Structure 1
């Protein structure tokens, strides 16, 4: 029988037990086979439904031909009968001839055979597998991975409960470990694992498990373990036996009643908050003293930062309530023109810090900070919030708010209005409407939206795919959720700009989401920002005016929208309006001091102006992981201007060794400049050919094109140089001040075609300077 294992390491053998290399080495055909085997419900598929999954870039005729060829290869490798058909239009896999672990896993789960299911679950579905420019397939794969891992986690929980009921603590520990691996953010599971390890006497194992969990929460969710989990761990560290924590499992959407007797409710808050306050004072007395005992109000607050609210509930899964409040306050207060509010991305690193308030405020350049805690239990949520002066460390204002759990947005509105009132800020009619607006009535959609925003900030392929899946689920749960539609546009734009430039289906979805966001809420700043991002990345390379209008409108609605300032600066930088660009990037950094892109692009502007040392210093202030390819290209490029050729060569060799794909060919084309400087025309031209191939469809290819022009200028080939300079300028980078100054072009400056090109470029620049 044919054996096809998709869970964990890939394995495919034919009926004779031989590995099928003809399919294992062809990712797209292997993906088709995997989809036919694993897709649910298990049935035959219409050919037209398969085409956009695997060949979205082809027209109908060519995509059908590609599908026919792929099915022919599968039949040739595995046997004619393995592909089942119904008429000419439906195809599938004959699962009587193929043993597939995903199918067997689903059967075991359905039959309640948990142990057998976990034996089959050797890892994630198609772990590490990827095919380019197939966005629909990638989204299907993400959804199936999530479905299967949840089913595996449920099976492990069932075995944990069974072992515990039988009194087998050792087995219970192992199943708890397996369940925690499969559900790595589940707070209740982690407490049970720590408690079980403690009961076994494995305190070192309990501590190690907790510390790994805490690191994982910080890295993945930007949060920390809940108070109750910390309490369990404190008992273990103190060499006391931690009592098992048995809490009712959280169920999505279930809202407990708030009809408890008033005396009981008051008692719960008195005990709970007394413990919280005592813990805060004892653990960090120096920092909390100024907030628990108020001091005089001094000075006028013109800028503030909303620090991440602390989740004081028993369950980390409820940290999204605290995160939602932080996000909402940052957004709502940011819409007030008279107040400067630090962007969330720059504030997040201070989550859980013990750094004094005045130091945080100094780093963020603000007059005051907002901080507080959120505690949820039963049907109630309580928020304690404080406004603390950066100059005096005194508490300027504090209040406590309490609402039923389902009144999430009422609570957010009350807290925001409390801060506005304390600051005595006048509100315009539009600002008043914005404060009253409720983003969505669906709590699950809001949680998915928050998770998606966090993932999107990381700007890598894996997190962008997860962000898209989360945000798509949010707008499915609530199609009228304008903010989620807008954030989804930005996730789509990142995918097309950085990871899948030929994914035309994503571009179409981005336009649909952008238009829908604006139709739902024409006064949503984030919707205008999203449309501006889409315009500037997809069509704005030729005409920047529409994107500029969207960014300006976004800033009219929310003057603290750092991304809009950054978008304006990026357009100005590419157009050669360097002073305006730097001004916008500085405004970005005033709101979002941790914005790596703004810092790096100020460095670029300095390089364009011939200030190579200053530019390199700023570019190097940015961590390389913020954008590996652009960082390495730009550092090497600046080093070459400074004559530090060997340093540049070593940097490029390390990068290309680790990243041979070199997205867009930016580093390969920079290395070609080095070879051209040395007079090695053969190697320079080899790198040029490679860079052109790698750059196909790359949204930033204008940088690669300029590097190629530089190569030909250094090699004294003016016709080719001018051709590639035109490609760079017409492709979105008509940066006259840089082109006019660049010493690498000096060898062609007397060429007639170059002079005509530069004259035309100057005219375009002068028009842009007058109109943009």
Structure 2
């Protein structure tokens, strides 16, 4: 029987049980610290005096003993009597049969020689970002253990990298060396091996970029020069012709099924705050080929090849969208009894995906010339729209020249506004957690805790602090309490102009302080990164062209594209029409920009991305004409000198989407080959192009090369500094883990997405999917139906239908039906499935997906033969998806198609 609780300590600490995250008294910081000490001991007893010295050194002996006894009592009460045992001598040990820990598993795998398994468990340094006040001995203990485990992890990574090189797998070697370089960024030896591996893999630009980044880090942080061997290698690489690019590895198969999840919490807003909270809009569902109301933007969805009835696959490998077969039950598949379903269902599904973003390069100059990147999401600017409708031109003043780089960020210690300073500890913890979160982004230069600590509690003007720390961006925040809730207000300030770029208010219930710090920091970090990305791009645009008219027209067109995407996601037909008009206006502005500076490629490439956006709102011949226009614009820029990587990405994306609409399998394969070639060339020329990695990942998934798709998705995530595509990539990685039956990994991807993108319904739906797919856990139909209700609130069925995602509400109920069937509620399961079949009728838009989800229900009901027949029918209906389907865990289990 698996352990009841799990305590993860490598990286951000996480404590979970049967009902989700452990909260309340057992999750108190000092008790988590106590469990951490016991976990590292791996079942061996730890003396009480040792525990007291680590955790309560400031108390008298009697008081410390009392606190330890009370903590042990609380842990046994909350986790079970057998969770923590006391030996006869008074020593204490953690029972691994009740509480599993990643620290113990990590060390066990190393002992067993499973370096790759150990590396997969290491999410970061021991108790990363975790602090216990007034416990210096505990901090020293953590530092020692953290160093020991980090060295073991580094040795494991180096062994894996060397083994991959010995096997001739350059790409896998790069992955391992890259991970080791991130773990130990100051090691010139590791940097040297990474640069060599990148060059061997055909990624010469990435190799040089990695070497330059390492050299800059050593000079800025340590004031030393890089190793002479590294400098010599860089000089040789610059002089030698580059190697041919190596393909992404075709590793072992993986699997994946459906969408994502999150649950509501009541919080009490303080009287001084408005009831509503402004949140950045999150990109909607990543699906393709939708009616005019689908979300716009960079390519985020993925679909299967089009059939006569517009058959499609869902974005992240979920196969509940492709219309194919009539949704009637064959004679060889007995129908489920028609009983009234407990909840209404809906009808078929197809939806649009969004397109990527581009930086820019000036022709004939050493600057980058590329299309400006698209921000992940933007609010609809009512004034801009009204001005457009009235036919007015909207002008924006030129951006001032930056004195300090906006990517250098100072997070000032948050101010505690609670009575008596009761939240001072939380303000400090949240500040340090946010510094840690932002510090994980390689492109950002975050001032360390030590750098900003000197200004804590001092009345120094933020602009003075920014000047002393050379920070172009400053983050300020306050905390206040209202009832059982804590409210955090955070502002991002441009230190060069003292202009507030963004303000955000986040409310959370008090309780588990660690979980509270983690959740708020993740949400705030995501919002700041998205907004900071826009500001960085605006500053960059000012240097891309000497024509103020061209620059302003491009910036305005970008804003119109963001507004169009937001408007198209509203689900109203009029919104779709208005979005199309905004895109038409954007195209006119870009035409004007090109006329103002014919040497700047950004307007041409952006017109191509506008074509991709407009194709998203169109169907049939009109859609294909827009995509061909986008491909032509990309090809036109490629015909010039010094063709930018953005042109390769644009053409590759357009060809990829054309391939999805291709009925002829030979024609589809040819287009996919061309698209893959362009996308690979694009990321080879500019490895930091996250959106191109993301699209390449989608293409590889459709082709059934799921392990390669996963590698490309992780590269996209690593390069996505400003979270433009992170939600879609994270969602895709969830399915990759799910298809490998790596439910712990899938759960981590789901919860990480939930923390970063709290408003994105997909990171609620993934929790529902896990309830069905992870059969090692107890079936909980009550939890499943609660998630269905929550999803209906986050993504109402009416809106889903308006956006063309007709199957979404059906899917949720079919998943809950499978969970109900596994729990023994067969009548309810049969009722839901029968209702779905009746509503689907002969609509091919539902048949294929319904076959898959009904197979899960039948399997849970014990009807293996019926489930096998349904999956076999799927394979026969979609032979083009055979490579894709055969990796699904359900289909593999049933031996079909």
Question: Between Structure 1 and Structure 2, which shows a larger proportion of helix residues?
Answer: 1
Q: Which has the larger radius of gyration?
A: 1
Fold equivalence (TM over 0.5): no
- Normalising by structure 2, report the TM-score: 0.35
- Normalising by structure 1, report the TM-score: 0.40
